């Protein structure tokens, strides 16, 4: 078990997770570990919640309103969400620089 400061968010706040944790201080944390947390500790049959661990600042972020039957699906979901936000942020930067 990871001993880290834990933050809980809903899936609708995934952009805030990216801005506040993944890109904290204006730098992208490239050491992200995509994880799956048991919904109920010690009971894998209850499902898994998507999570990510940021070792650079020892933070664990858990998405509490998503639950998957398999660990791999929970990890894939969070990784995909972060990837989509990173792409959107990159496009925003590019379009802002073109508008100026």
Is 30 a residue whose pLDDT tops 90? no
Q: Are 67 and 49 in contact (CB under 8 A)?
A: yes
- As a whole number, mean pLDDT of residues 27-31 equals 81
> What's the chain's average pLDDT?
87
| Cα distances (Å, whole numbers) of residue 27 to 24, 36, 46, 47, 49 | 6, 24, 36, 33, 26
Weakest mean pLDDT among 42-46, 64-68, 79-83: 42-46
Q: Are 14 and 26 in contact (CB under 8 A)?
A: no
Calculate the dihedral angle through the C-alpha atoms of 78, 63, 70, 1, rounding to the nearest 10 degrees: 100
């Amino acid at each position: 078990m990871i001993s880290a400061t834990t933050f809980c968010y809903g899936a609708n706040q995934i952009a805030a997770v990216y801005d506040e944790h993944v890109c904290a201080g204006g730098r992208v944390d490239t050491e992200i570990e995509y994880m799956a947390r048991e919904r109920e500790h010690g009971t894998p049959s209850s499902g898994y919640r998507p999570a990510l661990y940021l070792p650079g600042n020892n933070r664990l972020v858990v998405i509490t309103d998503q639950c998957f039957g398999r660990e791999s699906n929970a990890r894939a979901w969070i990784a995909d969400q972060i990837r989509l936000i990173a792409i959107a942020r990159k496009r925003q930067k590019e379009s802002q620089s073109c508008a100026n």
